[in-house]
Amino acid sequence: MKRAWLAIVAALLLPTTGTMQSMNPFEGMKFVASANFEVVRWANSHKNDKPELERLIQHLAHWMKQGVNEIKDDTHKIVTAYVDAGSIAVLVPYNFPNRDCGQHSRGGVEGADAYREWTRQLAEGIGPRRAVVVLEPDALTFSQDSKCSDNGKEQIALINAAVGIYKKTSPSAAVYLDIGHSNWLPPDVAARVLAQAGIADARGFSLNVSNFQPLADSIRYGTRILELLEAEHKVSDKGFVIDSSRNGNGPWKGKDEWCNPPGRALGNPPTARTGIAGLDAVLWIKVPGESDGECRGGPPAGEFWPKYAEELALNAKW
């Protein structure tokens, strides 16, 4: 196995002043595999018998769903661990009202006021330190679905408010607004929604979180959104990140293709050396092996499923 993919260390140093809203936050950072993830511990304990499982030992994102009384301290601890390691934490706030449109990952706080307060606590946990925030997967895309929202403007406004909170309270955090994947909203709609949601005050947007679209499709889609943001909405100097945690075999074509689909594979390992203008990094945002929900024999959403993690690793093409 090529060990070069397992630890990526850049030689450049990040500036120590200013904010991260207009620069690539991954420059100068090394990617580390935190033992706080069950998949990392499991892979480490089984890799001698199945060396392919070492592919799972990567820099992963932390999904933040804790209650308002825990979120500040938990965030502080996570960010501190990565700063001390010379790395950067990727945090995924996932507590939006009516989360996941009431599907397998349903939940979230009750109402806009509760969400703003929860966001303030999370932002205070980051404080002045550097971190990456992938903001509320699918919330903006669901705002365009009448089945999920009576008034999409309210959801967009709430994301906009969250962007403002991070800008004020954790100004060195790089915020990426999630906008689904390349097979969801048309790029002009995605650009419009991002502009309305406050991307001017964020670093950029995220794509393909927890999904399976091919990397090349996501790059084309993201590049087109950047073009439209600048041409139609006068928003420039932004970047995007792509989740490649399980897109190695592309999407499954069967029923419920989003929920623990069979035969999938790990995609490209995390890296900030993309060689693509505007693409800040390829990340593993969805933690490989964590279930999408109780479908195809899987445990509840978010629980680690060793069988699925192993399948993703064994099917990988690198």
Q: What does the pLDDT average to over 260-272?
A: 97
pLDDT, tens only, 136-188: 999 999 999 878 876 689 999 999 999 999 999 999 999 999 999 999 999 99
Q: Would 163 be classed as within a structural domain?
A: yes
Q: Would 194 be classed as within a structural domain?
A: yes
Asked whether 208 and 222 are in contact (CB, 8 A), the reply is: no
Q: Of the residues 217, 243, 280, 292, which is catalytic?
A: 292
CATH number at residue 70: 3.20.20.40
Whether residue 49 lies in the annotated active site: no
pLDDT, tens only, 236-251: 999 999 999 999 999 9
Q: Would 6 be classed as within a structural domain?
A: no
Q: Which residues constitute the domain of residue 139?
A: 23-315
Q: How confident is the model at residue 4 (pLDDT cuts 50, 70, 90)?
A: very low
Whether residue 138 lies in the annotated active site: yes
Q: Of the residues 100, 178, 217, 280, which is catalytic?
A: 100
Number of structural domains in the chain: 1
Q: Would 5 be classed as within a structural domain?
A: no
Q: Would 186 be classed as within a structural domain?
A: yes
Q: Of the residues 138, 178, 217, 243, which is catalytic?
A: 138
Q: Would 74 be classed as within a structural domain?
A: yes
Q: Would 220 be classed as within a structural domain?
A: yes
Q: Would 8 be classed as within a structural domain?
A: no
The reported pTM is 0.92
Whether residue 100 lies in the annotated active site: yes
